[in-house]
Amino acid sequence: MAVITISRQNGSLGDELAEYLAGKLQCMLITRAYAMENFFSESDDDVSEKLSDSAKFFLSEVPGEGGLTYKDVLTQKIKKMADESDNLIVLGLGGCAMLQDREDTINIRVHAGIETRKKRIAKRYNVSLDEAESTIGIGDRKHKRFVSIVFGEDLAENKLYDITFNTDFLSVEECAAAVLALIGKKGARLKISEETQQNDSFDHQTSTPVFKNDTEAEFAKILDMYGIEWMYEPKTFPIEWDEEGNIKMAFSPDFYLPKFDLYLELTTMEQKYVTKKNRKARKVMELYPGTNVRIVYKKDFQELVERLKMFGG
Amino acid sequence: MSMILDGSTEIKRIVYDEQAIASRVKELGAKITEDFRGEELIVIGVIKGSLYFFSDLTRAIDLPIKIDMIGFGNIPDTTSKTGVVKITKDIDIDISGKHVLVVEDVIRTGLTTAYLIQNLESKKPADITLATMLLNPDRLLMTIPVKYYGFEISDSWLLGYGLDRKEVGRNLPYIAELARKE
């Protein structure tokens, strides 16, 4: 599950990226037009015009909404949709500021150099480069002003974004591939975090995997070679406690494969010495129902390394 | 029995002879026929190892199935020293919304099978099940949907009926155990 916000400059391909991702993820795309039509449909034409023209008007109270402002209603509706949808994309509308406190959100900024944007706008609307520059200037100021007035944030602040694309030399498809990969990785990490809140295991995820030995690094390469997504030691499972409830023994399997919901523990020791690891793995599966742990024996590892060196059909 | 196949490959014994294989394939074919009756089934063989099993199994399935083959190999990649596994021969049939049966010669760790499943899943089939001639359940690392298998094997080195040793021995009509010379 992912909630994506896209903040973009005019002519940066941000709109195209939003539409492309909505198609790929088969999810709802919230644009300004959608918000006006669906969130404030009962407003009269005068209100619609003011919402369209004036950022300040978003801070006015909505009649009959118990003191809520248009900004509050917009935020509430979008947050509710984010809670209830598997995937959701918010284009503009200050989504990056509105949803910045949500961990499941990926905030994207799409920009491009002024010359690139001028050419794109001129071509799209069949106007001169000067006219395109003027349109871009107005758009940039309006975007900046809206987010500043309504949410008190500066669109230029890097802190608002998880990922920023300069599309001078990147296509929509290339940007989307990066976003989709990020969704997969982040989704797997959040799933582990949520699980650890529901049972006695610990979230053991670090920002950078530091392998304990060469075997683990080599195994990660093998998984990469097969395009199998992995996480390194993301979770620690307590498996023995003393009388006072203090943890006596815990087990942190080396790899987790989100796609297969499977933990793998590597051992390069001879098989007769791996009894202890087997016992720990069994205990994890007993204490944490639904958790799959497999041991990768020395023989399996060697065979996989052989395949890595000399791949055969 | 001991037979030298080439300079470095010696056959120790025949584990499954032609008759045992034919009989087991017939049973598997009948089971698959029963399980998929009335359904649209596409059977995909994995090049090259499953060639003979795929050929015999598909003829033992008494349903109007469609068949295709898929192959993969290690391709150099600019972002990795080891290269990446890529499809070298993709399927030609549209499998979206269809039942797919992938046919392998042998599944040990299941890593290559997992790769294939990931790839085929991106084509949105209704479901994917697996059939393999040989399965080593003790060494299976991945949680993959193996529904049909011919024989369970242990860690012995096997050859024949599609399985090779340095590309030799695939065309043997039986499955044999190799002497561990290397």
Domain carrying residue A255:
200-309
pLDDT reported for residue A91: 93
Q: Is residue A230 part of a domain?
A: yes
**Structural domain tally of chain A?**
2
> Do both A213 and A275 map to the same domain?
yes
> Do both A68 and A35 map to the same domain?
yes
User: Which domain-ending residue is among A154, A183, A212?
Assistant: A183
Looking at the complex, report in whole angstroms how far the Cα of residue A253 sits from the nearest Cα belonging to chain B. 14
By a Cβ cutoff of 8 Å, what residues of chain B touch chain A?
46-49, 71-74, 80-85, 108-109, 111-112, 114-115, 118, 139-144, 155, 164, 167
A142: which 2 tokens?
């309006």
What is the overall mean pLDDT for chain A?
85
Positive or negative, the CA dihedral B34, B36, B41, B45 is negative
With CA atoms as reference, the chain A residue closest to B114 would be: A228
With CA atoms as reference, the chain B residue closest to A311 would be: B74
What does the radius of gyration of chain A's CA atoms come to, in whole angstroms? Answer: 25
Is B112 in contact with A226 (Cβ distance < 8 A)? yes
Average pLDDT over residues B167-182: 84
pLDDT reported for residue A169: 94
Chain B contact for A304 (CB, 8 A cutoff): yes
> Do both A36 and A147 map to the same domain?
yes
Mutate to test the interface with A, among B116, B143, B156 (most CBs of A within 10 A): B143
Pairing of strands A87-91, A2-8: parallel
pLDDT digits (tens, 9 = 90+) for B122-170: 899 999 999 999 998 888 888 788 999 999 998 788 999 999 888 888 9
> Do both A176 and A220 map to the same domain?
no
CATH number reported for the structural domain that contains residue A93 in this entry: 3.40.50.300
> Do both A171 and A80 map to the same domain?
yes
pLDDT reported for residue B30: 97
B176: which 2 tokens?
């044999």
- Report d(CA A172, CA A15) in Å as an integer: 10
Q: Which residues of A are less than 8 Å from B111 in CB distance? A: 222, 226, 228, 304
* Interface ipTM: 0.75
What does the radius of gyration of chain B's CA atoms come to, in whole angstroms? Answer: 17
> Do both A102 and A235 map to the same domain?
no
- Report d(CA B148, CA B142) in Å as an integer: 16
pLDDT band at A312 (very low <50, low <70, confident <90, very high): very low
Which residues are CB-neighbours of B147 under 8 A, at least 6 positions away?
A: B129, B130, B131
Query: Looking at the partner chain, which of B82, B108, B139 has a beta carbon nearest the beta carbon of A225?
Result: B82
> Do both A148 and A211 map to the same domain?
no
> Do both A77 and A137 map to the same domain?
yes
pLDDT digits (tens, 9 = 90+) for A244-275: 888 888 888 999 988 888 899 988 766 666 78
- Report d(CA A43, CA A70) in Å as an integer: 11
Which residues are CB-neighbours of A212 under 8 A, at least 6 positions away?
A: none
Q: Is residue A189 part of a domain?
A: no
* % pLDDT > 90, chain A: 22
With CA atoms as reference, the chain A residue closest to B157 would be: A303
Average pLDDT over residues A101-121: 91
Q: How many helices (H) and strands (E) does chain A have?
A: 11, 12
Q: How many CB pairs under 8 A join A and B?
A: 68
pLDDT digits (tens, 9 = 90+) for A153-184: 888 888 899 999 999 999 999 999 999 888 88
pLDDT band at B82 (very low <50, low <70, confident <90, very high): low
Closest listed residue to residue A61, CA positions, set A51, A75, A71, A76: A71
- Report d(CA A42, CA A37) in Å as an integer: 9
Looking at the complex, report in whole angstroms how far the Cα of residue B109 sits from the nearest Cα belonging to chain A. 7
Q: Is residue A191 part of a domain?
A: no
A155: which 2 tokens?
């669109």
> Do both A141 and A243 map to the same domain?
no
Q: Is residue A194 part of a domain?
A: no
pLDDT reported for residue A300: 77
Tell me: pLDDT of B106 over 50. yes
- Report d(CA B130, CA B100) in Å as an integer: 8
- Report d(CA A15, CA A6) in Å as an integer: 8
Q: Is residue A250 part of a domain?
A: yes
A169: which 2 tokens?
């030399």
- Report d(CA B149, CA B24) in Å as an integer: 9
Tell me: pLDDT of A313 over 70. no
Mutate to test the interface with B, among A222, A261, A300 (most CBs of B within 10 A): A300
CATH number reported for the structural domain that contains residue A259 in this entry: 3.40.960
User: Which domain-ending residue is among A121, A155, A183?
Assistant: A183
User: Which domain-ending residue is among A128, A152, A183?
Assistant: A183
pLDDT reported for residue B104: 95
Q: Which residues of B are less than 8 Å from A308 in CB distance? A: 82
pLDDT digits (tens, 9 = 90+) for B24-53: 999 999 999 999 999 999 999 999 999 999
Q: Is residue A9 part of a domain?
A: yes
CATH fold group of domain B3-169: Rossmann fold (3.40.50)
Tell me: pLDDT of A188 over 80. no
Chain B contact for A312 (CB, 8 A cutoff): yes
With CA atoms as reference, the chain B residue closest to A218 would be: B82
Across B144-154, b (16+ Cβ under 10 Å) vs e yields: bebebbbbebe
Tell me: pLDDT of B75 over 90. no
Contact B50, B101 (CB under 8 A): no
Q: At what angle do helices B51-60 and B18-35 cross, to 10 degrees?
A: 50
Higher pLDDT, A193 or A12: A12
